[in-house]
Amino acid sequence: MQQYVYANTTGGKLRGAVQDEICIFKGIPYGATTAGAARFMAPRKRAPWIGVRDALRFGPACAQLDILPIRLNSEIGQLMQGGLDERTDTYSEDCLVLNLWTMGMRDNAKRPVMVWCHSGRFAEGSGAGAWCNGAALARGDAVVVSVNHRLNVLGYLHLGDLGGESFGEGNSGGSSTGKLNFAASGNAGMLDIVAALEWIRDNIAEFGGDPNNVTLFGNSGGGCKVSVLMAMPAAQGLFHKAIVQSGTLRHLAGSRLQRTRLAQALLEDLGLSAARLAELQHIPLANLHPAIAAMEGKFGDPFSMGIFTPTLDGHFLSEEPFDPHAPALSNNIPLLIGSTRDEMRVLLGEAAFAITVDQLLPTLQQLTGVDTRTATLWIELYREIDHRATPSDILFALASDFFIRSDAIAQAQRKSLQPAPVYMYQFTWHAPAFDGKYRAAHGLEVPFVFGNVDKAPGLCAAPAQYRTLEAKISAAWLAFARTGNPSHDALPAWPRYQIDSRQTMLLGDACEAVDDPAGELRQAICAAKFQ
C-alpha cells in the first residue's frame, strides 16, 4: 500500500509519496504559468492553491525540439539509457516545476540542499531522468532538488532591445503601466532557476533542508547554467557552493547586438516585425518550433550550447561568467569542477572512430582551428603519453582536452585566485559496454554521482562491480555539499586546486590525486586556446 507524506509550502499543501523511507515530491510548481501573455516574461509567483495538491508525478518539461528518437536508435542512445529524459509526462511551455527527495520532514535536521541543473545545453532536457533520480543521493542525508525551467527560444530569445519598455532601475521584466516589457526575455530561463532557488529558500526547512547551505550542481549544459548563476546578481545569496561537471561556460555566445539580430531573423521567418512583438506571444508552438529549427540550421554550430542561450544584457547579466576572471559575486563560493577523460567519444560522431593516420592532422585542424605546427605538436605530445593510441584515440583525446577540459582548467585557475577553495577532478572510469568503445565519455559520471549505477544498464552488465567507485564519488559530492570540501575517508587526500601544483583527483578504478596530469600537453593546448 502506498504511503503518503504531506508538506505545507508557501503555495499550499502538497501530498508526496514515501518510497524506501525517502520522502518524494514531484512536479511542485514554483512559479506561475509562463504560457500565453506570460511567454518571454520574467517568472512570477504562483497564487496559492486551495486544498491538497498531489506531487506524485513528474511535471512537464519545457517544450523542445524532439530529437530523442534519433539518440535511442544509436549506440550512444543505448549507452546513455537512463541518462536521457524519461518522457513520462508532457512537454509544455508552462513548465516551472521542481522535484524533491528527502529523508525527513520538519525535523530541523538542516540537511545540505543539492539543486540539480539538468543537461541538454540551454535547449533541451529535464530534471526527470533515471540517472538523476535523487533518492539514493538523499539517502546520504541531503535534500536533493531537480528543476525544470524554460529552454531554447522560450527561455533565451532576447527581445529586450526590439520593443516594449527599456531596461530601468528595479525593472524585472514586468510592467506597472500595462505596456509589454520584454526586458527579461533573453535570460528568462536563468531567472526561472533563480525563482526556484527563492522557493527553496522559503520552503526547504519544511523538508528538513538548510536554506543557508545550498549547493548548485550540473553536468554539461547544467554546468554551464551553474557557471552563469555564479555571475548573476539575482542569484546572489541563494546558493553557497557550486559543482560544475563538464560544463564550463567562460563567456556567453554572441554579443547583445548579435542576440538582437538573431531575434530579428526569427521574427522575419515568422512574418512579424518589431512593432508586432505581442503577436509572438500567441503563435502556437507547432508554428514556433519549425522556426527554431530553421534558426539552428542558419546560426548554430556543432559545439555550441545552442543558438538560444543567455544574453549579456547589462541588467540581469552584466559580466561574462568567467572571462577574463571569476565573478566577484561568487568570491566566497567554493567550487568543485572537472571533466571526463574521454568527453568527445559520444560527441564527435561515428565517423571519427574510423579516421586514418593521414586524416588525423587535417581533421584535428578543422575541428580546433589551430595551425599545422600546433596540431602536430599536440599529436606528438599525446603519442608520448600513449604509444599504442590509434588515430581516433588521439583525435578524441585532443578534442576532449581542447573543447572541455581546457575550459574547466581555465575556470578553476581563475576561481583559485579568489578566497573560496577550488577542487578539480577527472573521471577516468571506462564503461565496458560496446567493448569499451566509449571509455570515460561525456556525462558518464552522472549515475556515479547520484548513486544510480544500477539505473544505467547501458554502461555495464554488472553494476554491482562498480559499487565501491560509486560510493566514493557520491560521498565526495555529499561531503562538498556539506562542508565545501569533497574529502572523505574512502579517498586519498584531496588538496585544493592551485596554479603552482594543479592537483587533480582522478576518479576511476584507482582514485588518486596527481599534480597537473598530462601537464605538458595541458600547457600546449591552453597556450593555443587562450593566447
Residue type, 310: P
Long-range CB contacts (< 8 A, 24+ apart) of 437-440? 437/75, 437/345, 437/353, 438/75, 438/76, 438/79, 438/342, 438/345, 438/346, 439/341, 439/342, 439/345, 440/340, 440/341, 440/342, 440/508
Closest CA to 121 of 219, 263, 187: 219
Cell of 325: 576572471
The 3-class SS string of 201-238 reads: HHHHHHHCEEEEEEEEEEECHHHHHHHHHCCCHHHCCC
- Distance separating the N- and C-terminal Cα atoms of the chain: 63
The DSSP call for residue 403 is I
Report the catalytic residues.
220
Pairing status of strand 143-147 against strand 97-102: antiparallel
> Is the CB of residue 332 less than 8 Å from the CB of residue 420?
yes
Pairing status of strand 335-340 against strand 422-427: parallel
- The SS3 call for residue 504 is strand
- The SS3 call for residue 433 is helix
> Is the CB of residue 286 less than 8 Å from the CB of residue 315?
no
> Residue 177: is it exposed, middle or buried by C-beta count within 10 angstroms (0-12/13-18/19+)?
exposed
Residue with cell 531596461: 167
**Residue 172 is inside which H or E element, if any?**
none
| Residues with Cβ within 8 Å of residue 44, at least 6 apart in sequence | 31, 32, 38, 174
Rounded to 10°, the helix 256-269/285-299 angle is: 130
Cα-Cα-Cα-Cα dihedral sign, residues 418, 419, 420, 425: positive
CB atoms within 10 A of CB 30: 27
Rounded distance between C-alpha atoms, residue 155 and residue 167, angstroms: 18
Rounded distance between C-alpha atoms, residue 313 and residue 319, angstroms: 9
- The SS3 call for residue 180 is coil
Residues in the chain, how many? 531
Residue with cell 562542508: 483
Closest CA to 157 of 124, 119, 123: 123
Rounded distance between C-alpha atoms, residue 166 and residue 368, angstroms: 39
